[in-house]
Amino acid sequence: MRYLGTRPRTRWEVDRRLRRAGVDASEIEAVLDRLTQLGYLDDASFARWWGEQRDRHGPRGRRMIEAELRQHGVPREVVEAYRAEHATPERRAEDEGLPSSEAERASDALERHLRGRPLPEDQKARQRIGMYLMRRGFDADVVRSALRVAGEEAGDEVP
């Protein structure tokens, strides 16, 4: 229970933890089914929680969030449902302060990366920042748009 108390877990994570502890496979299935029945294990709610935590503390692109969910053992159909749920900007209307689109997420990540510093005027430095955002899972078009918006806000001409 302490393992479940620190943060939400996926069914796969708990299964792996119990296998490492040497628990019998039939007991593991019974425990997983019971925890799912009680609501302690829910991969869909884990996916929503994980995406919200990323938006609050370390913005990532949709591709990166989906890859992280797969690393935590979230099944493909749950990841696809998460993608469909987060495809519309209206879904975040009730969440104040959270980005509602990929472009807002990229701008937030850029702002956090710059930490109040101005966007560099050097083209090479801007390319490095763009690559930083791409490594965080943002598409090239979204990165260009975020850099353009940041440059316009700073009064620069950004290609």
Residue-wise pLDDT tens digits, 113-127: 988 888 888 899 999
Q: Look at residue 158 in the predicted model and tell me its pLDDT.
A: 46
Q: Which is higher by pLDDT, 19 or 88?
A: 19
What phi and psi values does residue 97 have, to the nearest 5 degrees? Answer: 85, -5
In this predicted structure, the answer to whether residue 156 has a pLDDT above a threshold of 70 is no
Percent of the chain clearing pLDDT 90 (strictly above)? 53
Q: How confident is the model at residue 150 (pLDDT cuts 50, 70, 90)?
A: confident
11-56 pLDDT, tens per residue?
999 999 999 999 999 999 999 999 999 999 999 999 999 988 988 8
| Neighbour tally for 63: CB within 10 Å | 15
What are the tokens at 106?
Answer: 């990229």
Set out the domains of the chain in order of their start, with CATH numbers.
2-38 (no CATH), 43-92 (no CATH), 102-154 (1.10.10)
CA angle 55, 152, 114 (to 5 degrees): 45
User: What is the C-alpha to C-alpha distance for residues 14 and 102, in angstroms, rounded to an integer?
Assistant: 31
In this predicted structure, the answer to whether residue 85 has a pLDDT above a threshold of 50 is yes
Residue 61 and residue 105 in contact, taking contact as beta carbons nearer than 8 Å: yes
Contacts of 14 (CB under 8 A, 6+ apart): 3, 4, 31, 32, 35, 41
Q: Please give the model's pTM, rounded to 2 decimal places.
A: 0.76
Q: Look at residue 99 in the predicted model and tell me its pLDDT.
A: 72
Percent of the chain clearing pLDDT 70 (strictly above)? 89
